[in-house]
Structure 1
Amino acid sequence: MDWYKIDASASLDLPFYLERISAGFPSPAQDYLDGAIDLVRQLVPHPSATYVLRVTGDSMRDAAIVEGSLLLVDFSLQPRHGDIVVARLDDGFTVKRLQLWPRPRLWPENPAYAPIPLHENANVEIIGVVTTVIQTLQNPVRAR
């Protein structure tokens, strides 16, 4: 995984529309501009503890985390059952869903992969909670 630190001083204000977009039947287009939204402030509540990681592999594809996805990972959050987490294993890092019951394990979101059991004496450390997944639909991103 590639690791990138969030620049807390960065700001990216984009137009933000009050009207929601329908994912079902179309609704009439309306121009209700609500103002601007700062994506850094909106998506990164703890900038000093947040990193950006680029995903490789497909073990989390059924959670919409695919090859090339960018993950915002907050290292200050306490991981809970069901969170998608970044874990350090003996041989590197992985992203999986944390399952605490019925038995602790790291759960892949692709049936082609086996869960990773979390035993008391296993050398596994949960180091961060994934808060946001960023997907680019146009590859490569193209300028207008």
Structure 2
Amino acid sequence: MKIPVILQKVSAGFPSPATDYVQDEIDLNSELIKNPPATFLIRVQGNSMTEHKITSGDLLVVDRSLNLKNDCIAIINFNNELVVKNIIKENNNFYIKNKAEKILISENSDVNVWGIVTYIIHAAH
């Protein structure tokens, strides 16, 4: 579904003089989803990721084809529960950054990466 988009940028400061407002259309699927077969959406429950601007009720766009990298946000199957966590890389190893502890992500651990968060969608309050 295509949604109209105003080509004029919106100012976060003081208004600029009026200009011609040209309307176009944008397809949010093609804008937000780069690899459709590997992409899914998941809704957040809880507020443990507020330092990363992720709050309860947010909708996450997740791409399963992307690889882990330092300081990414990922969906993890941890102890048979899906969680969203920040991933850090130290000494060529990836870890879940979880408050005061770091949990190693390896083939031998109970941690399974489901995908990398590419967009966070939340309602304006």
Q: TM-score band, normalised by the shorter chain?
A: 0.7 to 0.9
Shift of 1:60: 0.8
Query: Which runs of structure 2 are paired with 1:1-144 in the superposition (5 Å)?
Result: 12-101=1-90, 104-108=94-98, 113-118=99-104, 120=106, 121-137=108-124
Deviation string, structure 1 residues 85-130 (Cα, Å, up to 9, x no partner): 111112311111110126632225xxxx444411644211212010
Alpha-carbon distance change, 13 to 104 in structure 1, aligned in 2, over 3 angstroms = same
Shift of 1:43: 0.7
Q: Does the CA contact (< 8 Å) of 2:38 and 2:64 recur in 1?
A: yes
SS at match of 2:37: helix
* Matching residue of 1:5: none
- Give the Cα separation in 2 of the matches to 1:20 and 1:97: 31
TM-score (norm 1): 0.74
Q: Does the CA contact (< 8 Å) of 1:85 and 1:129 recur in 2?
A: yes
SS at match of 1:62: helix
Q: Does the CA contact (< 8 Å) of 2:96 and 2:105 recur in 1?
A: no
- Give the Cα separation in 2 of the matches to 1:41 and 1:119: 31
Deviation string, structure 1 residues 30-52 (Cα, Å, up to 9, x no partner): 34325100111111111111111
TM-score (norm 2): 0.84
1:91 partner letter: N
Deviation string, structure 1 residues 59-94 (Cα, Å, up to 9, x no partner): 111211100000011111112111111111123111
Identity %: 35
1:35 partner letter: D
Structure 2 runs not aligned, ≥5 long: none
1:32 partner letter: Y
Structure 1 runs not aligned, ≥5 long: 1-11, 139-144
